[in-house]
A and B are shown apart, each in its own frame.
Chain A
Amino acid sequence: MPSVATILNNAPIACVLSQNDVDKGALYGKRLDPELPVKIYATYKVIKKIYDYSPVVLPVNATGSIQITAIGNVGDDIQVLVNDPFLGSISLGVYTQVSGDTDTTILAGHIAAELNSNGYGYYVTSATDTISITARLGIGSSINGGGRLTAIGSNTSEILAQALISGLALGSTGFVYTVTSAEPIAGIVTLASYTQQSSDSTLDILAASIMNAINIGVSGYYTQGVTATTFYILSRSGLGSSINGYNATISWNTSSTTSAFSGGAYAVTVIPHTITQFSGGVTGVELSTAIIATSNYLWELMGRYGIRALAYTGGGGGSVSPVTPDEVATPITIGSSDFTDATHWNKATYAGKPLVVFSNGIARYLTFSTEWGYTSTGIVILIAGFDSAVMDYTLVITIIR
């Protein structure tokens, strides 16, 4: 079924054409409803008035942007968050600056590429130092403004490396337990040197005493108990990830236990930026089902005169031509991958045919000339922002004849 706009555009012509046939019928015998032109007009007149008060509003995806104001340092990062009106807070991705990010244009491009694989349908591009973020389909104006776009550093506090100490054994009074850390630059650093006391009568007590000795020491390391006899030694601040893989060791008498530090991470600074909030989103308004239903009724009423009228209004070749039967399968369902570029779909058997285009995504026929148009080889989608390369679309294209 053609769109409401197409039906209403062709109804007045169908009215004339049907009247012509009525007039011919008067000469050669009554072959059709002589009131058909009146019925078409009466139906058209009412629907058109209501339709004109119910404009279809095409949805527009809001856009926001992030301008990279300076390159940070290698290792700095940026995590872009969106407070989506329906999904809640989502992360579009995290990008960590690398040595190749030598200016803001390169850095913005790399960030955009990372964010564009967000998986939520947000479309991210960059131009010079500015990253443009186009909101996903279907949320219209609901995302405009309101601080919904934010960017943070993914790790603004240092994460201390930790080594899990186990295997400690209870020695004898007077044993010296020496705790060391093999730091990457300073080398072996003694965290504590504890002499077992007579009161350290159990392993639990001894472990607690050693932990206390580390904690009250001046090394900057401290401990965190796991069980009574096992505990973490956390590295001093400032070492970040550099100490990962280096050992913490406790040795006593002729024994020792060793564990490698892991999980340390430097605090990073968020890449310098400024944010422009989402704006320009428009929530689409669909035609009421009543208008669609009554228009379809009008189309049925117009019958073959509606088809013939299409030739006058751009749906056909500009003149009333005989219909040539063909074997082309119609309708045809196409997806984004069927497009030859962002907006063009080509198919020889459909080229030059009067078509209607239905969009599954918005569940209605697209409006000819404003939302789609003919090309010599197929059709072109005219909707702003339509890009088959970045979004999944499903269209149903029907040859009408």
Chain B
Amino acid sequence: MLTPNFTSTESLSSPNFITFTDTSTGSDATIVNRRIYVQLADGTYLVPSGTSTSYINWAYTDSSITLNLIEKSQSANVLVVWSDGTTDVYTKTILMEWDLYDYLFLFYLLQVQTSSPSIINDTNYYGNCLKMIVNLFNSENATLLMDDLYSSQAALDKNFYLMNNQQYAF
């Protein structure tokens, strides 16, 4: 009997890569493969480039899998299915958030700020930095405390807008 579970981690050097790790306990000799479904707030499924299915195959012999999955900070409902080859035996869904892109952008701003402290006096600069941090705060809380994918992604999208318009915002 398996108690299914999994985690995910981001990479500081390559935030587009997400690593999923199977943290299930117990054992079930009938399990032969796994599938990962990454569903976004708009209902679509996120898969690596070149994947024709809405899911990602995760070989059962591999305890972890690293995927080139995201291009910006994302929240997603992640469903992992453990199968015996014909039947889905176990499933586990976790709302996950990968927001390292936003933090890396803020860290870049902070480096600029460190070398040019007076930049915080620029119009909108500091206010928009704080907006991004509040958006992250909201997104993380929506994920962890409220299990609310839409609110979480909406907060991240606000940051994405600021990052895409950084010439005006910072």
Query: A residues bordering B, Cβ < 8 Å?
Result: 38-39, 41-43, 45-47, 49-50, 53-54, 290, 293-294, 296-297
User: Is the CB of B163 closer than 8 A to any CB of chain A?
Assistant: no
Bound CA span A285–B120, Å: 32
Q: B77-120: which residues lie under 8 A (CB-CB) from chain A?
A: 100, 103-104, 106-107, 110-111, 113-115, 117, 120
Bound CA span A42–B130, Å: 7
Contact A43 B12 (CB under 8 A): no
Contact B111 A294 (CB under 8 A): yes
Main secondary structure of the interface of B (DSSP, over half): helix
Contact B114 A293 (CB under 8 A): yes
Bound CA span A41–B126, Å: 13
User: Is the CB of B133 closer than 8 A to any CB of chain A?
Assistant: yes
Contact A46 B12 (CB under 8 A): no
Q: Which residues of B contact A290 (CB under 8 A)?
A: 107, 111
Contact B104 A50 (CB under 8 A): yes
Q: Which residues of A contact B110 (CB under 8 A)?
A: 43, 46-47, 294, 297
Q: Which residues of B contact A41 (CB under 8 A)?
A: 133
Contact A53 B114 (CB under 8 A): no
Look across to chain B and name the residue whose beta carbon is closest to the beta carbon of A53: B12
Contact A293 B12 (CB under 8 A): no
User: Is the CB of B10 closer than 8 A to any CB of chain A?
Assistant: yes
Chain B residue total in the interface (Cβ 8 A): 19
Main secondary structure of the interface of A (DSSP, over half): helix
User: Is the CB of B129 closer than 8 A to any CB of chain A?
Assistant: yes
Bound CA span A46–B103, Å: 6
Look across to chain B and name the residue whose beta carbon is closest to the beta carbon of A296: B114
Bound CA span A39–B127, Å: 10
Instruction: Report if A50-B130 is in contact (Cβ < 8 Å); known contacts: A43-B110, A293-B114.
Output: no
Contact A54 B133 (CB under 8 A): no
Bound CA span A42–B128, Å: 11
Among B10, B106, B115, contact of A46 (Cβ-Cβ < 8 Å): B106
Contact A53 B10 (CB under 8 A): yes
Among B100, B113, B129, contact of A53 (Cβ-Cβ < 8 Å): B100
Contact B111 A42 (CB under 8 A): no
CB distance from A282 to the nearest CB of B (A): 19
Contact B107 A38 (CB under 8 A): no
Q: Which residues of A contact B113 (CB under 8 A)?
A: 297
Bound CA span A45–B109, Å: 13
Bound CA span A293–B104, Å: 15
